[in-house]
């Protein structure tokens, strides 16, 4: 039976790469295969997130409690911003599919119009995500506090805006004078003092101790102040117990009791956490912050590269490369990637923000 391999077989018998078993072009198939592997990566990430959430003992943050801020409007809008981001991505997916449809009719002007809209949508989404990250990292005005019984609570309420700090007494190494008015870097000074336990509340108002040992009175804008404090216990202590049902209004500590507990914590030191980093965050277990950065960051990186690829293809469309080629399949392929980015966000939205 020797020599079989060298025997000549005519091309009618051999498959010469002529017919694709899927009736799809090579490039489109490879884009699909890449998307399959990329989707498995995201699937793995989201499952890992679920694993951490199942295995942790600490109570996991609740989406509508964590994400409730809007740019310029402040707090009190649960999930509104992520819903807006989802809508932006859906719309940019629609403009992309319209570009693909225009390409199927060899309508160059249509492709240009809709691809341009897609790129703009991509930039708006990236900008939104940048704001969301910034807000997540800087955190709320209140932070998360450890109460004196050892329980941990997140804080809701009205913080107001600082007007200025006025020096009321000067410390040993003070470079301030009594009566000096500080107007810069107030938020940072306040948070630093709160973490050090240098915030005091008495009948005259709120006072912070500064680095140089001097004391300053905290002045809020007209008619504002720290009001309506509500504490939501996230980890039980010796007195307060955790209530997982957020819909039960009795699970929140409110009124004067909440206010006293909060300022007691700020006067103790090492009891308050602001914002998020890779080590700790004010929203919940540290894995929560790490997964937030990794999953939304990895998705954001995909959006970013999607915008770049869209721009490259857009230039090709403008130059008429695909029109001369006789088909706009390149637009279809970059469209597949762009829709995939939208698809991933649909899952991230549900499993990170809603559930």
Question: Which residues ranging from 29 to 48 are in contact with other proteins (CB under 8 A)?
Answer: 29, 32, 35-36, 39-40, 43-44, 47-48
Residue 184 has φ and ψ, to the nearest 5°, of -110, 145
Residue list 247-266, contact with other proteins (CB under 8 A):
247-248
- Indicate the residue among 166 and 254 with the shorter CB distance to other proteins: 254
Are 319 and 81 within 8 A, CB to CB? no
**What is the Cα–Cα distance from 276 to 137, expressed in whole angstroms?**
5
Rounded CA-CA distance 354/348 in Å is: 9
Q: What's the min distance (Å) between Cβ of 10 and other proteins?
A: 14
Q: Is 201 exposed, middle or buried (0-12, 13-18, 19+ CB in 10 A)?
A: middle
Q: Per-residue x/- mask for other proteins, residues 95 to 134, rule CB under 8 A?
A: -xxx-xxx-xxx----------------------------
As measured in angstroms, the least distance from the Cβ of 62 to other proteins is: 5
Pick out residues in 151-170 that bind other proteins (CB under 8 A).
none
How does strand 181-182 pair with strand 199-202? unpaired
Residue among 93, 132, 104 nearest 306 (CA): 93
| Identity of the residue, 103 or 210, whose beta carbon is nearer to other proteins in the bound complex | 103
**Please, which residue, 50 or 205, has the CB nearer to other proteins?**
50
Candidates 87-95, 208-216, 227-235, 272-280: pick the segment binding other proteins (CB under 8 A): 87-95
Task: Specify the residue, 208 or 307, whose C-beta has the smaller distance to other proteins.
Answer: 307
**The two structure tokens encoding residue 1:** 């039976």
Q: Figure out which of the listed residues 45, 63, 144, 300 binds other proteins, where binding follows CB under 8 A.
A: 63
- How many residues touch other proteins (CB under 8 A)? 73
Of the candidate residues 20, 238, 241, 305, the single one contacting other proteins (CB under 8 A):
20
**97 or 117, CB closer to other proteins?**
97
Please give the structure tokens belonging to residue 55. 């295995």
What whole-number distance in Å separates Cα of residue 112 and Cα of residue 98? 11
- Residue 27: how many other CB atoms lie within 10 Å: 12
Rg (CA), the chain: 28
Query: Residue 306 and residue 328: Cα distance in Å, rounded?
Result: 17
Coil, helix or strand for 121?
helix
Question: HSE (CB half, 13 Å, CA atoms) of 159?
Answer: 16
Residues 296-335 that bind other proteins (CB under 8 A): 326-327, 329, 332, 335
Piece of the chain touching other proteins by CB under 8 A; list 2-10, 52-60, 273-281, 285-293 = 52-60
DSSP, res 67? S
For residue 294, the minimal CB distance to other proteins (Å) is 16
Candidates 10, 13, 54, 279: give the one binding other proteins (CB under 8 A).
54
Work out whether 272 is an interface residue with other proteins (CB under 8 A): no
Site for other proteins in 220-249 (CB under 8 A): 244-248
43 vs 71 by CB, closer to other proteins: 43
Among 4, 6, 8, 23, binds other proteins (CB under 8 A): 23
Rounded-to-integer distance, Cα 311 and Cα 139, Å:
34
């Amino acid at each position: 039976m020797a020599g079989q391999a060298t025997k000549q077989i005519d091309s009618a018998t051999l498959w010469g790469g002529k017919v694709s078993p899927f009736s799809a072009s090579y490039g489109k198939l490879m884009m699909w295969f890449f998307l399959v592997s990329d989707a498995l990566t995201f699937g793995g990430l989201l499952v890992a997130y679920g694993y951490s959430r199942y295995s942790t003992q600490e109570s996991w943050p609740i989406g509508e409690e964590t994400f409730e801020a809007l740019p310029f409007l402040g707090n009190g809008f649960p999930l509104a911003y992520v819903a807006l981001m989802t809508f932006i991505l859906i719309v940019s997916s629609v403009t992309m599919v319209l570009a693909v449809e225009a390409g199927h009719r060899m309508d160059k002007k249509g492709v240009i119009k809709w691809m341009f809209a897609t790129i703009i949508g991509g930039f708006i989404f990236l900008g939104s995500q940048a704001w969301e990250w910034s807000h997540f990292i800087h955190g709320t005005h209140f932070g998360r506090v450890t109460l004196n019984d050892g329980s941990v609570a997140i804080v809701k309420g009205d913080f107001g805006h600082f007007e200025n700090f006025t020096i009321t007494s000067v410390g040993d190494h003070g470079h301030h004078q009594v009566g000096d008015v500080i107007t810069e870097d107030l938020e940072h000074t306040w948070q630093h003092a709160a973490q050090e336990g240098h915030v005091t509340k008495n009948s005259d108002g709120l006072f912070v101790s500064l680095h140089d040992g001097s004391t300053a009175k905290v002045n809020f804008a007209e008619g504002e102040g720290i009001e309506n404090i509500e504490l939501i216990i996230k980890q039980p202590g010796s007195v307060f117990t955790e209530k997982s049902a957020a819909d039960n209004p009795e699970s929140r500590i409110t009124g004067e009791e909440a206010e006293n507990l909060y300022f007691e914590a700020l006067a103790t030191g090492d009891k308050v956490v602001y914002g998020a980093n890779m080590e700790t965050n004010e929203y919940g277990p540290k894995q929560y912050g790490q997964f937030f950065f990794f999953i939304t960051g990895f998705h954001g990186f995909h959006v970013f590269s999607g915008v770049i690829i869209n721009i490259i293809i857009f230039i090709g469309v403008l130059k008429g490369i695909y029109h001369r080629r006789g088909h706009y399949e390149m637009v279809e392929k970059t469209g597949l990637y762009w829709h995939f980015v939208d698809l991933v966000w649909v899952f991230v939205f549900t499993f990170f923000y809603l559930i």
